Amino acid sequence: MRRVRTWFCFLTILISVGFLPFSVYGKKNSCLTLIRGESNSETIYNRCTICRIVTIIRSRPGNSVPSSRTYNIQPNTYISVPFKGPGASRITRNSPCEGAPGGPINLIEKKKKSEQQKCLQIIGKNGRFYLVNQCSQCRKGGILRTEKSSGKKNFKGYKIPGKNVQPLASLGFSQAKLVIDAHCS
């Protein structure tokens, strides 16, 4: 038992001095390695074949608020982190970069792409207005009509076959706005 404890203490000292790399979370298959070098400077090494997003938190003795930094680390590269001196560092986030399998999804860009795929459009010609479906599939459209002076509103839905035009009656309202553009169900 004493021999096991001695080896454990010896390995702990080697890891803390920086002679042995410390694997994140203690996992054997982890891609990231946090290496402490000379003068307590630290380096993160990404052994993965894909880019990783890493957040590292540094706690210092006497400082109640830890410092945090986030990095995108390319495959098989080292990054020196700006933490030096006494304290303890730990990795709190380890995930693939955007675009990699399992990585975060940019919801704003996804929304922009869906806005470009709008098929319905209100077009005015010769004093009349039409709801035009420019796609080849059936679409549902919702028109919100408003009376500017009284603030009265009216909503009406339309189902338009692909590559078709639907005339819009004013129904006594001064403004019309397309508020729904969706696939027919």
**Cβ-based neighbour number of residue 24 at 10 Å:** 18
**DSSP state string for 71-115:** EEE-TTEEEEES--SSSEEEEEEEEEPTTSTT----HHHHHHHHH
The low-confidence residues of the chain, meaning pLDDT below 50, are: 21-29
Position 16 scores a pLDDT of 55
Q: Which sequence spans correspond to the domains of the chain?
A: 2-96, 113-183
Task: Tell me the per-residue pLDDT of 44-56, one tens digit each, with 9 for 90 and over.
Answer: 888 888 888 889 9
Q: What pLDDT score does 27 carry?
A: 47
Residue among 60, 74, 64, 66 nearest 92 (CA): 66
pLDDT digits (tens, 9 = 90+) for 157-169: 999 999 999 999 8
Predicted pLDDT of residue 25: 40
Topology given in CATH for the domain delimited by 2-96: Immunoglobulin-like (2.60.40)
- What's the pLDDT at 26? 43
Backbone phi and psi for residue 57, each to the nearest 5 degrees, phi listed first: -115, 135
For 21, counting Cβ atoms within 10 Å of its Cβ (0-12 exposed, 13-18 middle, 19+ buried), the class is middle
In eight-state DSSP terms, residue 135 is: S
C-alpha atoms less than 13 angstroms from C-alpha of 137 in its C-beta half-sphere? 11
pTM above threshold 0.85: no
Instruction: Please tell me the CATH code under which domain 113-183 is placed.
Output: 2.60.40
Backbone angles phi, psi at 181, to 5 degrees: -140, 100
pLDDT for the residue 170: 82
